[in-house]
Chain A
Amino acid sequence: MYNQTEIIKDTTDLGPEGELIVNMGPQHPATHGVLHLVVTLNGETIKKIEPHLGYIHRSIEKMCESLTYRQFIYVTSRMDYLSSHINNTACALLVEKGMQIEVPERAKVVRTILNELTRIASHELWIGAMAMDLGAFTPFFYAFREREMITDIMEDTCGARLTMNYIVPGGLMYDIHPEFQTKVKAFIKQFKEKVTEYEDLVTGNVIFQSRTKGVGILTASDAISYGCTGPVARGSGVNCDIRKIAPYDAYDRVEFDEIIETAGDSFARYMVRVKEMNQSIRIIEQLIDNIPEGDFVGKTKNVLKLAKGEFYQRVETARGELGVYIVSEGGTTPHRIKFRSPGFSNLSVLNHIAKGSKIGDLMATMGTLDLVIPDIDR
């Protein structure tokens, strides 16, 4: 049995100048999964952060190579499980692009609504988890109350709460639930009433503001050179919303603003996500009454075969830009598939922006990067 003083007495592996190496994770309540950070500290100041990956690597890219173009979509729900709809959409869009499948208007509009609902659900969960990282436990339950309404809508229409697999090449797997529109409208009404609660509880809170303002500052040029996308880059003033740059599905016919904050600190990234939820509500409001009648799935062949060549499709997930790249040899399965996940690039910037700050600020910085570990490892 060691006692406390004996452990500290052994200073051989403390490094040259009394450096202390702290392992955060793989099992740590604030890392949301199995992320392992090796933090080198000098006193309380962070000198270096080394993320160790691979604890939840499932070789999804290799798995996809043995599955057909209908089958590989369900695996991508397991990458970024909080925006699984959007991952599925990316894969379906790529197959449609490669085979020139005509997608019915109804499917396009329903996909857009579901994608935006997924984005709201993801941001809701993030707000709860982020506030919990900083020690506020109550917002977690309030955020999950609204998220629960979205998962109920998903359960009704898609049959699952998290890994839906509702989107197929050519459209949707089956038609929307008859009560879909009324339920979504009820959700919009409740969301608009209750979103002020987050403002009262979290945004205006003096402790939250002083812990996030001026913490983990990322400049616009660094955000571009590290390949950051999504709310992380938009919090630094970079225009990178794929829904605006390269619209897919029904995004070209709806009006919404791309949220840009210029401060680049943790609070700016927080504000981007809060405002983005309101924009998502705006998109849904424009579409929910105008779901066109007609087929929900286009005409596809029984066996899908992509032409020989290379295909790339990018979409905006709740975390940033997701790219799907397929090399096809003309067969029924992809020859090589590669996912460009937003989480990996966003994690790589952590060492840069957290260096020099105190270890207590690391949670605030890492929380606002919105890391989903299965998305990083794949």
Chain B
Amino acid sequence: MFLKDYISEVYNGVSSLLKGMRKTGYYFTHSKEIITEQYPDNRATLKLADRFKGEVVMPHDENNEHTCTGCTACELACPNGTIKIITKFDITPEGKKKKAIDAFIYRLEMCTLCNLCVAACPSDAIKMAPNFEHSVFDRSKLTKILNNPGSKIKEGIE
């Protein structure tokens, strides 16, 4: 009886090991089913999801115009104080004063990419961009001014 148990235990043990090794052997011989991507080498073909949250950017159109009114809704929505908006007053051709942004300061090093600023924006002036290679040698390079120099607000955006 003891011998029978012992032999069946050995048999079951060896068969379970062989069963597992057959699986590993299968993938060893079927290299096409391996899905590993070699990251820095596949840069040209690498495609990230369109919603990927990499950093906050401010899109400008071909006339160098953005849609940010400087309402500071994003600044209030940000949990970390990542965004700072400095506003100025432009003089319109009619001689009226109009509020506009002077600098949209964005500190990438403090950003947790939570998307709350983009969700809070009433005029869709900022969005998330799928850039993820952010390493630089100096931390000050991560503080960015998002509005292009000389850019102005699009007509009709209040």
Task: List residues of chain A with CB under 8 Å of any chain B CB.
Answer: 67, 70-72, 74-75, 138, 145, 148, 152, 155-160, 163, 165, 168, 173-174, 177, 197, 200-202, 204-207
Closest A residue to B19 using CB positions: A200
Separation in Å of the A86 CB from the closest CB of chain B? 17
Q: Which of A71, A145, A163, A206 contacts B12 (CB 8 A)?
A: A206
Separation in Å of the A38 CB from the closest CB of chain B? 34
Closest A residue to B54 using CB positions: A159
Inter-chain contact B19/A159, CB cutoff 8 Å:
no
Confirm or deny: B113 has a beta carbon within 8 angstroms of a beta carbon on chain A. yes
Confirm or deny: B110 has a beta carbon within 8 angstroms of a beta carbon on chain A. no
The 16 sampled A-B contact pairs (Cβ below 8 Å) are A70-B116, A71-B79, A157-B51, A159-B53, A163-B112, A173-B119, A197-B23, A200-B19, A200-B22, A200-B23, A201-B23, A204-B16, A205-B16, A206-B13, A206-B16, A207-B17
List residues of chain B with CB within 8 A of the CB of A173.
Answer: 115, 119
**Taking chain A's interface residues, is the majority helix, strand, or loop, or is none over half, making it mixed?**
helix
Confirm or deny: B91 has a beta carbon within 8 angstroms of a beta carbon on chain A. no
Confirm or deny: B128 has a beta carbon within 8 angstroms of a beta carbon on chain A. yes
Given contacts A71-B79, A75-B79, contact A200 B20 (CB under 8 A): yes
Task: List residues of chain B with CB under 8 Å of any chain A CB.
Answer: 12-13, 16-17, 19-20, 22-24, 35, 48-49, 51-53, 77, 79, 112-116, 119, 128
Given contacts A159-B115, A168-B119, A173-B119, contact A204 B19 (CB under 8 A): yes
Inter-chain contact A71/B77, CB cutoff 8 Å:
yes
Inter-chain contact B52/A160, CB cutoff 8 Å:
yes
Inter-chain contact B51/A206, CB cutoff 8 Å:
no
Inter-chain contact A206/B17, CB cutoff 8 Å:
yes
Inter-chain contact A74/B51, CB cutoff 8 Å:
no
List residues of chain A with CB within 8 A of the CB of B79.
Answer: 67, 71-72, 74-75
Separation in Å of the A149 CB from the closest CB of chain B? 9
Closest B residue to A78 using CB positions: B112
Give Cα A75 to B16, complex, Å: 45
Closest A residue to B35 using CB positions: A145
Give Cα A156 to B13, complex, Å: 43
Inter-chain contact A177/B51, CB cutoff 8 Å:
yes
Inter-chain contact A165/B115, CB cutoff 8 Å:
yes
Given contacts A201-B23, A206-B12, contact A70 B115 (CB under 8 A): no
Given contacts A75-B79, A173-B119, contact A160 B113 (CB under 8 A): yes
List residues of chain A with CB within 8 A of the CB of B112.
Answer: 74, 163
**20 additional contacts (CB under 8 A) given A71-B79, A156-B51:** A67-B79, A71-B77, A72-B79, A74-B112, A74-B116, A138-B20, A152-B49, A155-B49, A155-B51, A156-B49, A157-B51, A158-B51, A160-B52, A160-B53, A163-B112, A165-B116, A197-B23, A202-B20, A204-B16, A204-B19
